[in-house]
Structure 1
Amino acid sequence: MAKVKLLIAEDDVVIAQNLALSLEEMGYEVCSVVSTGEELLLEVHKFKPDLAILDITLEGKLDGIDTAAILSRSSEIPFIFMTALSDKDTIDRAKLTSPHAYLVKPFDVRTLQSSIEVAIHNASLRQHHTSTADAESTAETPLAEQPANYLLQNALFVKVRNRLEKISLDNIVWAEAQDIYCNIKTPQHIYLVSQSLKNLEQRLPGKDFMRVHRSYLVRLTAIEAIEDNNILIGGKSIPIGNTHKDSLLKRLQII
């Protein structure tokens, strides 16, 4: 029987190593241990674990709750929180992501093991019920009566911690693929979003944005210079893919 695969996000190296060792002694396979939410989201796509264990306090821009929110929107992988934080505000934020368990440090290995087993079991039940409900809903609701998806034409909303931030399309200068996620760059921030670059490209107006590489799309008016097959925008060098170069040059006024 295949081992249950676990992915751990914990920024304390000692705690992370001890946790991984304890889990392996229990018979689990720890496929990766990371210290940031950004790393966990990439590793999830790579290893496809059965469960993710997240500390709420992490290095990087995303804390454990932010990471879990993105994870829950982009996959069906269950996750549990482990943290020393038990204040009401933290718990209220955590509840919004519908975690499968919430462990307050310190906890013993027996509690951890039971939480993992229950989380995986409940996740399996949730997925079964969701699949059944979706099938029944699709069968019973005429296509013409199913709700349409709407997109605000001049802006996107991005989940940042416990709120949705509005990003004007005019403020986006480039976007970069990160496996099944992507980074959106504005003059003020870089946002990690649970959309592939392909999906984001479909949401942005083609007259303003262009794919210039398999991993990048840019706002054409943000281009400051082109040098040695690279686009320069705000100090960042963005490569131009061979299959995109001719199309890009045709859209620029070159004299």
Structure 2
Amino acid sequence: MARLKLLIAEDDVVIAQNLSLSLEEMGYEVCQTVSTGEELLLSVHQHTPDLVILDITLEGKLDGIDTAAMLAKSTRVPFIFMTAFSDKETIDRAKQTNPHAYLVKPFDARTLQSSIELAIHNAGTRQRQPEAHMITPSQAVATEIDETDNFLLHDTLFVKVRNRLEKVALEDIIWIEAQDIYCNIKTRTGLYLVSQSLKNLEQRLPPSQFMRVHRSYIVHLTAIEAIEDNNILIGGKQIPIGNTHKDALLKRLQIL
């Protein structure tokens, strides 16, 4: 029988290594350990784990609860929260994502294995009784923008970061890159991961400022620094120009 494949998200390197060793000793396969929610969301689609174990406190812009909420929207991969916090506010936030089990640090090997078995059992029960709110990755691509995640208002994009909405001016966005069913939005000062497809974002951005130049990229036209061969140069990054977009792009530029 194939071993269960687990993915760990923990920002403490020592804890992550010890947890990985413990799980391997129990007979599980640890496909990867990551320290941020952004890495976890990308790794899930690369490794297709049977279970995710994630700390509620993570590095990056997404905490464990935000990450789990995005994971639940696009996959059926079960997940276990682990945390040193057991206060009511944290528990209440975590409960909204319907975790398959919950571990409070510190925990021993027996508690860990029991939680994994419980999570796998709960996942099987939920799959036999599909929930109406669950969507597949392909459906997520076509899903309209979630009002609790991202808001577009005139010249401003609001992006959910942990438990608040951060305002991002459209003029500060320099490029957007598709990452499976998610997108990276690069601004002049930072990088945001949002649970929207590139197609959805393209439809909501003003075409006078933004243009799709590749199946995986949208660029802010005024941020283009140079075009070299079949690449756009923006902020030290080379963005490929798709063959189907090249003529339309050149028509938008004033070439002397």
TM-score bracket, shorter-length normalisation? 0.7 to 0.9
Helix, strand or coil for the counterpart of 1:14? Answer: helix
Task: Give the corresponding residue for 1:34.
Answer: 34
Of 21-30 and 170-179, more deviation after overlay is shown by: 170-179
Of 243-252 and 44-53, more deviation after overlay is shown by: 243-252
Q: Tell me how far apart the structure 2 counterparts of residues 72 and 158 of structure 1 sit (CA, whole Å).
A: 18
Check conservation: 1:8, 1:52, Cα contact below 8 A: yes
Q: Tell me how far apart the structure 2 counterparts of residues 156 and 205 of structure 1 sit (CA, whole Å).
A: 12
Matches within 5 A, 1:22-171: 22-130=22-130, 154=154, 157-165=158-166, 167=168
Note the C-alpha offset of 1:99.
1.7
Q: Tell me how far apart the structure 1 counterparts of residues 158 and 125 of structure 2 sit (CA, whole Å).
A: 31
Check conservation: 1:93, 1:162, Cα contact below 8 A: no
CA offsets, 1:191-229, max 9 Å, x none? 201223344334434454222234321122443443454
Q: Which blocks of at least 5 consecutive residues in structure 1 are unaligned?
A: 135-148
Check conservation: 1:208, 1:221, Cα contact below 8 A: yes
Give the counterpart letter for 2:20 in structure 1: A
Helix, strand or coil for the counterpart of 2:57? Answer: coil
Task: Give the corresponding residue for 2:212.
Answer: 211
TM-score relative to the length of structure 2? 0.79
Give the counterpart letter for 2:6 in structure 1: L
Q: Which blocks of at least 5 consecutive residues in structure 2 are unaligned?
A: 134-145
Give the counterpart letter for 1:60 in structure 2: G
Helix, strand or coil for the counterpart of 2:58? Answer: coil
Note the C-alpha offset of 1:236.
4.1
Q: Tell me how far apart the structure 2 counterparts of residues 122 and 254 of structure 1 sit (CA, whole Å).
A: 60
Helix, strand or coil for the counterpart of 1:173? Answer: strand
Give the counterpart letter for 1:212 in structure 2: V
Aligned residues: 241
Larger CA Rg, structure 1 vs 2? 1
Q: Tell me how far apart the structure 2 counterparts of residues 86 and 222 of structure 1 sit (CA, whole Å).
A: 46
Note the C-alpha offset of 1:63.
2.2
Q: Tell me how far apart the structure 1 counterparts of residues 203 and 46 of structure 2 sit (CA, whole Å).
A: 24
Q: Tell me how far apart the structure 2 counterparts of residues 251 and 198 of structure 1 sit (CA, whole Å).
A: 20
- 183 and 10 in structure 1: CA distance in 2 versus 1, 3 angstrom threshold: same
Task: Give the corresponding residue for 1:182.
Answer: 183
Q: How large is the RMSD of aligned CA atoms in angstroms?
A: 2.9
Check conservation: 2:52, 2:78, Cα contact below 8 A: yes
TM-score relative to the length of structure 1? 0.80
Note the C-alpha offset of 1:103.
0.9
Check conservation: 1:216, 1:238, Cα contact below 8 A: no
Q: Tell me how far apart the structure 2 counterparts of residues 33 and 179 of structure 1 sit (CA, whole Å).
A: 20
Give the counterpart letter for 2:68 in structure 1: A
Task: Give the corresponding residue for 2:255.
Answer: 254
